[in-house]
Structure 1
Amino acid sequence: MNKRQILGIAVIAAVIIVPVAIKFTNSKPKIEVELAKVSKKEIQPSILASGNFVFRQQVQLSSEVIGKVSEVLVKEGDKIQQGQVLLRLDPTLIRAEVTQQRAIVRSAQVNIERAQLNVDRQQINADRSRRLAEAKFIDASKYEDAVHQLNVAKVDLHAARESMQQASASLDQALKRLDKTEVKAPISGTVTAVQIKIGETAVASATGMAGSSLMTIADIGSIMAEVNVDEADVAKVAVGQRAKVFPAAFDDQPVAGVVEEVSMAPRANLPGASQGKTYVVKLRLSETTLGIRTGMTCRVEIVTGGGSLRPVLPIQAILTGDSMKLENKGAKESKEALKGAGVVFTVKDGVARKKEVKVGIADDNNQEILSGVVDGDMVVTGPARVLRALRDGDQIQEKKTDTGATKPTGSAASATGSASTAASSSASTTVSAEGKKS
């Protein structure tokens, strides 16, 4: 092959390679996305709610008498039995009151005895005056005076007995207050909190006052979920329905639950809260080894009906509300108008295409698709930031797999293959030409 032929081959190779190189150099890089196929799955109608974990049985102990704490016999975490003494208040003042009331009772008893003796004496005088009056030895008025004195004595006796009852009642109250200086456990369980210390003053129950709360006891083996269900959904909830409970601390480890109680009255709104009504729903949890503690937050998915096969997509694939930008909608359209609608990006020939879809029921992972896409369509599911920024017509390719290979979408695969073939052919031609030249 002469030099002219070699030069001709080189020119032809340059004509093929340079445009291809320029095209690939100047083309916009493809956006890597995650894809999912519209498929039919069993989806059950459910509602979502949030709340926290509470003990089924929990008692907040308060003092019934005022006194300084002299002994605290338990600490947080101690297991206790019903009737066990938990703390003692200083009984000095109340014991003095008991002593005083006992003295008053004894005095009242003496007064009764004195009044009884007076009644007996006046009765004798009245009887004697009656006999003398009948025998005409004294005037009838003397007899009447004796009867009057007897009646006065009886009234005094009755008053003494009433005073005795009052003194006895006061003594009983003092004894009860003395007994209440020992605070005992009303239930068996575990001490979950001790809010008072030795030397502090316990006061009779009064919400919010320092010293009104002594300690908390609970049956820690009976934790349940307590969630707030919106008024629009509470009619769908019934006792016995199954649920999945997702503790915030173990969000990837749901716990099975069953609805045990649905409140009849709405929960009172806090000052400044929205006007929407919520209802408390309590759920019994299945056995779990998770370290769930009271006060932890949780979210709950309550299954409200039977399941059936429906075309679905992962929830994250559907843009709704503020995230969706419909081509034929104005910027001022309200969220209410968009309810039940959404936007997805399908993939065709490596190009993202925006489509409006109508959505139905959802569970915790999937959303039913009523219209807009069909079974088998490929739809962009993420990453979330990429999906929110994606535009109709963007060039995309499926995100790299764990092996590092990129899955081209649509015609991108054939284009990539053609480019590789062209590059290989050109390289072979160049090598041959160089070999011939040498």
Structure 2
Amino acid sequence: MKLKNKTIQILGLSLFLILSLAGCSDSKKNVSSNQELVSVQVATSVLPKNQSYFSASGQIEAEQFANISTRMMGYVTRVHVKVGDKVVKGQSLIDINNTDMEAKKAQTQAGIIQAQARFNTAKKDLDRFQVLYDQKSASQKELDDVKTQYDIAEAQLENARQMQNEIDAMLSYSNIKAPFNGVITSKSVKAGDMANPGQHLLSLEAPNNFVAKVMVPETNIPFVHQNDSVQVYVKSSEQILAGTISEISTSSQNSGGQYLVKIKLGLPKETRLYSGMFISADFPTAHTNNNQVLVPKSAIVRKGDLQGIYTVSTSNTAILRWLKLGRSIGDQVEVLSGLSEGEQYILSAEGKIYNGAKLNIK
């Protein structure tokens, strides 16, 4: 009887284990079948169209800018502007103490009055002696002497006027004004500072008028031509701007084998650019590509020093594939290895993407 009860208990335990395992299996199947799909947008890798490019890095600069300084030494009495202020041509920017120059100006004005009086007297004498000479009442020598005194008085008056012009020019460096309409971009002086000749005081730039300056290596400068169209990629905002080559340096003597190239930028409305922003410019070349595909930079996945992209498997799951990347061309990057023409890759996902994630391709 005891043996029979033990046999029944063993059979019951076995049945329980079998049912439990079956339940687990069914649960796993349900979890697997209920795995959420990640909605993604995909693209197919293609080769560039019969044109290759090389990229050069540089920065944006205002086409019209000025570093403002003075030729005078003196204490700054007032600074009328601050960084970011918009100014118009002729607007006062900085006042420098000009007491000495004002005193010299007063002396010069007094000298002009004296020289003018001597000139007027000499002119009257010349006119009077000219009449007497015509009437045979004065000799040629007397007329020549009076004419000499007139010429001296005229030269002294002109000299006094030129001294006043010099003083006025010096005074213009004590009341510094804006040379053109623009925006104050830097200020390195305040009231009470001593201004020295040649010292940087302010920087002024004309807004919405920018150029890109890049350095092109010797191997690529033959492909750069005046008035060629290029694409300029602004790294901070990821904007792509159209540009035209406006200047090409013909010497690399002082730039370490690099040639300076300026690109005039065409700015669409509502484009916000600032001097100093880093850019890369894409210059077309006559060479064909080397069968290397281009993919958007936004699709690249970075983990440490590794760079890859999510591709689509035959069963519509995500597979992370590591890539070897080459040059950047605008908002795209060249794939040297790891991705071939015609393969699908994920552009964007509405959820978290990972290896093996099931995809809902839109």
Which one-letter code corresponds to 1:232 in the other structure?
T
Residues 312 and 55 (structure 1), Cα distance of their counterparts in 2 relative to 1, 3 Å cut: same
Spell out the pairing of 1:412-423 with structure 2 (5 A cutoff): none
CA contact (8 A) 2:249 2:259 kept: no
1:195 matched to 2:188: yes
Partner residue in 1 for 2:142: 149
CA–CA distance in 1 between the matches of 2:190 and 2:107? 30
Partner residue in 1 for 2:216: 229
CA contact (8 A) 1:266 1:280 kept: no
1:403 to 352, 356, 359: 356
CA–CA distance in 2 between the matches of 1:284 and 1:86? 30
CA contact (8 A) 1:230 1:279 kept: no
Q: Look up the SS of the partner of 2:58 in the other structure.
A: strand
1:72 to 70, 74, 79: 79
Residues 94 and 367 (structure 1), Cα distance of their counterparts in 2 relative to 1, 3 Å cut: same
1:311 to 277, 281, 291: 291
Which one-letter code corresponds to 2:82 in the other structure?
K
CA–CA distance in 2 between the matches of 1:237 and 1:64? 41
CA–CA distance in 1 between the matches of 2:188 and 2:247? 32
Spell out the pairing of 1:7-406 with structure 2 (5 A cutoff): 41-43=47-49, 44-116=51-123, 118-119=125-126, 147-204=140-197, 206=198, 211=199, 213-238=200-225, 239-247=227-235, 249=236, 253-269=238-254, 274=256, 276-284=257-265, 286-287=267-268, 292-304=273-285, 311-312=291-292, 365-366=333-334, 402-403=355-356
Higher strand share: 2
CA contact (8 A) 2:210 2:264 kept: no
Residues 96 and 267 (structure 1), Cα distance of their counterparts in 2 relative to 1, 3 Å cut: farther
CA–CA distance in 1 between the matches of 2:177 and 2:286? 47
**Identity level (%):** 20
Q: RMSD in angstroms over aligned alpha carbons?
A: 4.0
Residues 162 and 278 (structure 1), Cα distance of their counterparts in 2 relative to 1, 3 Å cut: same
Q: Look up the SS of the partner of 2:170 in the other structure.
A: helix
Shift of 1:278: 1.6
Residues 243 and 305 (structure 1), Cα distance of their counterparts in 2 relative to 1, 3 Å cut: farther
Q: Look up the SS of the partner of 2:48 in the other structure.
A: strand
Give unmatched runs, 5+ long, in structure 1. Answer: 1-37, 132-142, 316-359, 379-399, 406-438
Q: Deviations over 1:270-290 (max 9, x none)?
A: 5xxx4x242323241544878
CA–CA distance in 2 between the matches of 1:100 and 1:374? 83
CA contact (8 A) 2:46 2:341 kept: no
Aligned length: 272
Q: Look up the SS of the partner of 1:199 in the other structure.
A: coil
Q: Deviations over 1:166-189 (max 9, x none)?
A: 112212322343344322212222
Q: Deviations over 1:45-77 (max 9, x none)?
A: 101111112112222222254443211100001
Which one-letter code corresponds to 2:251 in the other structure?
P
Residues 173 and 246 (structure 1), Cα distance of their counterparts in 2 relative to 1, 3 Å cut: closer
Which one-letter code corresponds to 1:216 in the other structure?
S
Q: TM-score, normalised by structure 2?
A: 0.61
Residues 126 and 258 (structure 1), Cα distance of their counterparts in 2 relative to 1, 3 Å cut: closer
Residues 311 and 68 (structure 1), Cα distance of their counterparts in 2 relative to 1, 3 Å cut: same
CA contact (8 A) 2:328 2:334 kept: yes
Residues 88 and 115 (structure 1), Cα distance of their counterparts in 2 relative to 1, 3 Å cut: same
CA–CA distance in 2 between the matches of 1:258 and 1:153? 70
CA contact (8 A) 1:190 1:218 kept: yes
Q: Look up the SS of the partner of 2:47 in the other structure.
A: strand
Shift of 1:368: 7.7
Larger Rg: 1
